[in-house]
Amino acid sequence: MSDSRFSSRREALRWLGVGAAGAALSGCGTAWRPPPAPPARPPAGDVPVAEAAPLPAPPAEAAPPAEAAPPAEAAPPAQSLVLPPRLQRGGTVGLVAPAGVIESATQVSEAIQDLRALGFQTRLGRNVLAKQGFLAGTDAQRAEDFMRMVEDPAVDAIVAIRGGWGAARILPLLDFDAIAANPKPIVGYSDITSLLVAIWARTGLVTFHGPVGISSWSDEVVESFFQTVVDGEPLALAPETRLIRDQTQTVRGGVAEGPFVGGNLSVLAALAGTGYLPNTDGAVVFFEEVSEEAYRVDRLLTQLEMAGFLRAPAAVVFGQCARCTDGDSTWSAERTIREHLRGYDCPTVFGAPIGHTSPVYTVPVGLPARVDADAGTVTFLGSAVA
């Protein structure tokens, strides 16, 4: 049964004053308010980090999956923004596999070679070649490798070797207090979204939606990585890049500022109700996606809207929906996204140069940014590193 008072689902949710998770709804552009972090789980342990050479065989029997965290509406953001120390030239980059299984040792070797060619030292997680079905080892192994890199003072930055799926499974095993006490750049994209947004929400630490170890480290990728993480120069995303010919398109015009928070659409939707999905009131929310059909894109955005994730953004930036299709629908994936973006009263754009595309820019997560939807630009307001 329909109600003629409402022209859209969003209007109905606003009238009710709640999202599906019971979150109060307000208009776009409300001021961002950082709340306190919850207690952290016990640390994974202080174990020395192995060097890059020998790799142990995976265990014969896998440990059971991590116990799920108590569901919650959203992870309360930390009290204040924390900038990690900049990565020095010649510094040490820790390589970990917190998500999908690594297909071969060659991928690891090539990632090491690429980073060393840029002048960095590398340190390899002990379990990167472990296998547990589609995962790079058990949840405990992947969390242990990550926390070792966090707590090792010789490691200056952490880069995920690849995405895939599985980073969300280790969130209950991470020690967020230890992460806050040892701030360093944490870089990756796609499934690594889980780590990036949960760490920012729980600690206030700026993380980086950027290349993974197996990415193509082209000149543009390297330039952005050094600009953002090494040199600490504020990043600005133009409406068109040298390699992406699709212009960033205005859906709803205007200018807005707020913490730049988001990542892969399906990964963010999977965090709804877990307690690790950030509060994005007053934030510039960004998305990217790959190989999804139009109806699935609609389902993912609808889930996040009803969960309250998009109740009051300052702006919404949808990047690339690479290889997304209509799935035999009369609507394309792009039109589906645009229909959602039109429902917001704040500035919205489609087609920004973020996502499963080339080049993969190193974009700070949690750092304040200004969106000019009419010009199609995103400008970060200061350095992302200390």
Strand, helix or coil for residue 263: strand
At residue 10, the pLDDT reads 54
209 included as an active-site residue: no
Among 260, 242, 236, residue whose Cα is nearest residue 315: 260
Active-site option among 73, 144, 288, 305: 288
| The residue to which tokens 């389902």 are assigned | 299
Among 182, 186, 205, residue whose Cα is nearest residue 83: 205
In CATH, the number for domain 92-230 is 3.40.50.10740
340 included as an active-site residue: no
The gap between the terminal CA atoms of the chain, to the nearest Å, is: 55
Tally the residues of the chain: 386
From 3.50.30.60, 1.10.580.10, 3.40.190.10, 3.30.40.10, which CATH number describes the 9-36+235-380 domain?
A: 3.50.30.60
The pTM (predicted TM-score) of the whole model is 0.82
Extents of the domains making up the chain:
9-36+235-380, 92-230
At residue 242, the pLDDT reads 52
pLDDT < 50: residue spans in the chain: 1-6, 12-13, 15-27, 29-72, 77-78
Spell 55-93 as b/e; 16+ CB within 10 A means b.
Answer: beebeeebeeebeebeeebbbbbbeebbbbebbeeebbb
At residue 121, the pLDDT reads 98
Active-site option among 73, 144, 151, 190: 190
Active-site option among 144, 194, 340, 356: 356
At residue 358, the pLDDT reads 85
Q: Judging by DSSP bridges, how do beta strands 315-322 and 207-209 pair with one another?
A: unpaired
**DSSP class of residue 90?**
T
At residue 247, the pLDDT reads 77
Do 9-36+235-380 and 92-230 fold alike per CATH? no
Alpha helices in 207-361 (DSSP H): 219-225, 265-270, 294-306, 333-341
At residue 11, the pLDDT reads 56
